[in-house]
């Protein structure tokens, strides 16, 4: 089975081809330089860039892989959650390919695709506990299989990735700033008591990072010397030409607080599952913040504590990409699941329906 994956949920235009669980080729164009001028993604600009790029990227993908449109069996496309205008570009392109050929159309839950992405590199073990941690979402799932996700906890306000981006913006770091915070944080030991781990004085599995963001903002206000005079200074943060000890201390402590919060909630979730006789056999961690080194270390500790396998995607698969969409589409299509041309895009904040058409193959 040859599956094309199309990802346009935010500011990456990404396409990939997967055959029988193996990635053949992928192409991607990022809009970081454009949105960096505004300190975050501008939806109107994002959708225009997707429209401008998607056709040429598709042609490039076919040329690299040596296949034709007629060879594609399944067209998988992110249908949400995401920016509505961006999603519609990918969805329209996917429907055009399906209408012009014989491929089946499969709409993909972008969040689920992230959590299935490690399957491109290793066999996934179910049932699994899943932590999705990205710019827009921080979710905990129980995962029974590629078509069976149960949401156990979610972010109530700012997601972890959003907190990283906003803290970086307060420090006048270039967008996206999470990578700078992570790298600086490796240069110092964290002060565990500098910031309170947020929203833990409860017994639920939800997250809230808005209070932590505010606490970091107040700390920066009291220490304005930590703010970069210009974003151009970011290139000097790691060449020993300036004293970054105070900044590294802040970043290490912030990194520690976020990763510890995630660790505690995930351990709580696994404990709840075990108490119900539903112990997971693995822990899957995915999303952009899954590339953070302290988060990866914390989740490795969780898996070892419970004696289960940790599935972490490579750094390439942590970001939005077409490969994860193609792989998820292949898994669902193998179960006879697909959509008609009336498939809708679902923006962030709305529930994605289970409206698959199902066939027995």
Q: Distance between CA atoms of 15 and 73, rounded to whole angstroms?
A: 15
Say if residue 136 carries a ligand binding annotation: yes
Say if residue 320 carries a ligand binding annotation: yes
Burial of 118 (0-12, 13-18, 19+ CB in 10 A): buried
Closest CA to 135 of 183, 167, 172: 167
The two tokens of residue 62 are: 């076919």
Say if residue 315 carries a ligand binding annotation: no
Say if residue 161 carries a ligand binding annotation: no
Strands 128-133 and 148-153: unpaired
Say if residue 340 carries a ligand binding annotation: no
DSSP 283: E
CA geometry: angle at 113 spanning 332 and 147, to 5°?
35
Say if residue 119 carries a ligand binding annotation: no
Say if residue 165 carries a ligand binding annotation: yes
Beta carbons within 8 Å of 185's beta carbon, 6+ residues apart = 248, 251, 252, 254, 255, 256, 293, 294
Closest CA to 288 of 69, 106, 110: 110
Say if residue 114 carries a ligand binding annotation: yes
- Whether the ω angle into residue 125 lies within 30 degrees of 0, i.e. cis, is no
The two tokens of residue 204 are: 């639920």
Give the residue numbers of the binding site for Fe cation. 110, 114, 320
Give the residue numbers of the binding site. 110, 114, 132-136, 165, 178, 182, 292, 320
Give the residue numbers of the binding site for substrate. 132-136, 165, 178, 182, 292
């Amino acid at each position: 089975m040859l599956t094309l994956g199309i990802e346009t949920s935010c500011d990456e235009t990404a396409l990939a081809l997967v055959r029988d669980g193996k990635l053949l080729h992928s192409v991607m164009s990022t809009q970081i330089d454009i949105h960096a001028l505004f300190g975050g993604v501008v939806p109107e600009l994002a959708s225009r860039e997707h429209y401008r790029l998607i056709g040429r990227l598709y042609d490039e993908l076919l040329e690299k892989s040596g296949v034709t449109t007629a060879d594609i069996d399944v067209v998988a496309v992110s249908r949400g959650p995401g920016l509505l205008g961006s999603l519609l570009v990918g969805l329209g392109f996917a429907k055009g390919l399906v209408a012009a050929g014989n491929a089946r159309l499969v709409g993909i839950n972008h969040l689920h695709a992230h959590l299935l992405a490690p399957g491109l590199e290793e066999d996934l073990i179910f049932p699994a506990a899943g932590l999705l941690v990205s710019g827009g979402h921080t979710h905990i799932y129980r995962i029974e299989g590629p078509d069976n996700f149960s949401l156990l906890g979610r972010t109530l306000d700012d997601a972890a990735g959003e907190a990283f981006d906003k803290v970086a913006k307060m420090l006048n770091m270039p967008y996206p700033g999470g990578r700078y915070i992570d790298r600086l944080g490796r240069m110092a030991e964290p002060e565990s008591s500098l910031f309170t781990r947020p929203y833990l004085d409860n017994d639920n599995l939800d997250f809230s990072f808005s209070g932590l963001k505010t606490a970091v903002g107040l700390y920066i206000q009291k220490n304005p010397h930590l703010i970069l005079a210009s974003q151009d200074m970011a290139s000097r943060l790691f060449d020993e030409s300036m004293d970054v000890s105070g900044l590294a201390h802040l970043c290490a402590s912030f990194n520690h607080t976020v990763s510890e919060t995630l660790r505690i909630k995930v351990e709580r979730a696994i404990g709840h599952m075990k108490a119900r006789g539903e112990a997971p056999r693995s822990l899957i961690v995915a999303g952009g913040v899954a590339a953070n080194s302290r988060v990866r270390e914390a989740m490795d500790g969780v898996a070892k504590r419970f004696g289960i396998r940790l599935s972490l995607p490579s750094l390439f698969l942590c970001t939005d990409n077409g490969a994860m969409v193609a792989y998820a589409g292949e898994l669902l299509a193998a179960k006879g699941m697909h959509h008609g041309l009336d498939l809708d895009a679902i923006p962030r904040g709305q529930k994605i329906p289970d409206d698959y058409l199902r066939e027995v193959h």
